[in-house]
Chain A
């Protein structure tokens, strides 16, 4: 499985944008880029995914580099509820496994 590299931790202030980076230099052409997050004492939850183009949904935006070797999850206005561990995961086809790294612990300051 292709690997991803994320910073161990990041900090943000409430109501400011947050850019969470992810490097995946060995990504293959069929790998989707998925982001999940895990709030304290909960199971992970899906945030967003993309293949080549930038993507937006109600939770976040995903910016994918043109060469697909890196991506950035963007939270437009961080709230205290966004404090979580964010995982960037490369995923092949449907029904295949998710391989979790250690993710980025995001702290949001009031």
Chain B
């Protein structure tokens, strides 16, 4: 199993450019998530998808859109990049733990994005 994979690993954009960050998981998980992490801070949730076909806003959704393409793939799009979106972006997926009442999240390696 590859787990959670993200592409690209690094990206530099100019202000106003657009791009899509790709995320895929091969663990048959229902839920997927996009977080951003700014230097010296914890992760903040951008969007999540509890199941295929559904998406919901997280803590910091402004400036982003998402698509849950199928059960495996969850993409994050920046329509018009701004310097404030310079960050490390992590994708995650989750599986239920024993008992079925809570779950654990598995994270990808991250995409390091710089917006000039």
- How many chain A residues touch B (Cβ–Cβ < 8 Å)? 23
Query: In the complex, what's the smallest C-beta–C-beta distance from A98 to chain B, in angstroms?
Result: 6
Q: Mark A28-48, 1 if CB is under 8 A from B, else 0.
A: 000010101000011111100
Task: Sample 15 A-B pairs with CB under 8 A, ordered by A number.
Answer: A42-B110, A43-B107, A43-B108, A43-B110, A45-B106, A46-B105, A93-B102, A94-B94, A95-B94, A97-B33, A97-B45, A98-B33, A98-B45, A99-B59, A102-B42
- Residues of A within 8 Å of B96, CB to CB, are 94
Determine if A45 and B107 form an interchain contact, defined as CB atoms under 8 angstroms apart.
yes
Determine if A49 and B42 form an interchain contact, defined as CB atoms under 8 angstroms apart.
no
Query: In the complex, what's the smallest C-beta–C-beta distance from A46 to chain B, in angstroms?
Result: 4
B6 nearest CB neighbor, chain A only = A43
| Other-chain contact of A95, B50, B58, B107, B109 (Cβ < 8 Å) | B50
8 Å CB contacts to A: which residues of B65-116? 90, 92, 94, 96-97, 100-110
Instruction: Give the docked Cα–Cα distance between A32 and B105 (Å).
Output: 14
Determine if A94 and B102 form an interchain contact, defined as CB atoms under 8 angstroms apart.
yes
Determine if B42 and A94 form an interchain contact, defined as CB atoms under 8 angstroms apart.
no
Q: Mark A85-97, 1 if CB is under 8 A from B, else 0.
A: 0010001111101
Determine if B108 and A103 form an interchain contact, defined as CB atoms under 8 angstroms apart.
no
Instruction: Give the docked Cα–Cα distance between A94 and B101 (Å).
Output: 6
Determine if A49 and B104 form an interchain contact, defined as CB atoms under 8 angstroms apart.
yes
Prevailing SS type, chain A contact patch = loop
- How many chain B residues touch A (Cβ–Cβ < 8 Å)? 32
Chain A residues packing against B (C-beta within 8 Å): 32, 34, 36, 41-46, 49, 87, 91-95, 97-103
| Other-chain contact of B109, A34, A36, A42, A97 (Cβ < 8 Å) | A42
- Residues of A within 8 Å of B102, CB to CB, are 32, 34, 49, 91-94
- Residues of B within 8 Å of A49, CB to CB, are 97, 102, 104
